[in-house]
Amino acid sequence: MKGKVPGWEQAVRKLREKVYEWRRPRSKMEAASSEEIGRGASEDGITPKEHSPSVHPFWVIVNKEIGDHIRSWRVVILLSLMVLTCIGSLYTAVEEVRSIARSEEDSSFLFLKLFTEHNGTLPNFITFVSFLGPLLGIGLGFDAVNSERSKGTLGRMISQPIYRDDLLLAKFTAGFVLIAVLFMSLAMTMVGTGLLALGIPPTPEEFWRIVFFMLIGTVYVGFWLNLSILFSARLRQAATSAISCIAVWIFFSVFFNMIVQLVGRALAPAGGAGIDDILSYARSMQLLIRLSPSQLFDEATMTMLVPSIRSLGLLTPEQQIGAIPSPLPLGQSLLLVWPQVTGLMAATMVCFGIAYALFMRQEIRSK
């Protein structure tokens, strides 16, 4: 029959039962009897059956969405691609780190070099995450709303006694949890492999730097997840929303830097310009290129994984005089990347806010 999708009938029935159980009014007699039962066993020594608390409908939808993602071939292919690239970058990084450890070079922060070093055959892990992470977020959210509408299940879900915004928030939560679990699993895999290959454990500072790197990567992919949900709520067809998300990703990955270079050539100061004009021009170009989410992610991750980076802005020769070339502590690195992280979080919340406003104003029952 049209509009009936395998798996949805059972999920809707379970959701209806949970909602009615959660909202069902209880009389005083029922409350008193349940309290008496819960106090202890009966006179015959039989322990009463423990009643588990009812699950909120929001978490029922989250569990259903996570299950759909895990069983989806699209997500399985994207996750397999991420794992394969992680293994390839890890193999090249281990060889490079071993050569660095043998040669009497700077052997500090060896575990962090697993994420940044490469031997030229494959890019490092940061490059793979910056390039393939948006595809993972787009794949998880480009059909979050419009596919439900095209199947006829969106109206059926909204007709249940749940809040409309819970549905949109549950879809984002399910995708974000899956992304966080994936990134933490990849990080622990690289740490474990590095521990076996190098034979030395990571220092506490290295461990926390890796954790913060994965949190920043989760926020970065979460931005693309929210952007894809925004297009899914705005556009009727899933194919159109997927093409729109990929077009935005290609624009920021390929064409945005070209446009910034063209603008920079047009606004470049003349040959006889003073130092103030040159600094103002450089700051303007730096602000313009930071409109790209990938640029914010690259600056934040490189600062966290390369402690020798002491500044992300321009430094005059006067400012460099007297500076000690030593690695920054973890707290100072977090202060240095906080504007980039704040920018990524703000862009993520703006995309979700626009998607929320569009979804709340839509007529669900009309096709």
Q: What are the pLDDT digits (tens) for 335-358? A: 999 999 999 999 999 999 999 998
Residues of the chain above pLDDT 90, percent:
19
Residues of the chain above pLDDT 70, percent:
79
The confidence score (pLDDT) of residue 24 equals 47
> Is the distance from CB of 128 to CB of 89 less than 8 angstroms?
yes
pTM, two decimals, is 0.79
CA distances from 230 to 29, 118, 137, 314 (A): 48, 36, 12, 36
Which of left, alpha, beta for 109 (phi over 0: left; psi -120 to 50: alpha)?
left
Angle at 59 between CA 146 and CA 163, to 5 degrees: 60
Task: Give the Cα separation of 121 and 92 in Å (integer).
Answer: 8
Mean pLDDT of 29-45: 40
Least confident of 10-14, 21-25, 158-162, 248-252: 21-25
Residues in contact with 250: Cβ distance below 8 Å, sequence separation at least 6, in sequence order: none
The confidence score (pLDDT) of residue 218 equals 93
Token pair of 160 as six digits: 């249940």
Number of C-beta neighbours around residue 130 at 10 A: 20
Number of C-beta neighbours around residue 289 at 10 A: 18
Task: Give the Cα separation of 250 and 107 in Å (integer).
Answer: 37
Q: Confidence class of residue 323 from pLDDT cuts 50, 70 and 90?
A: low
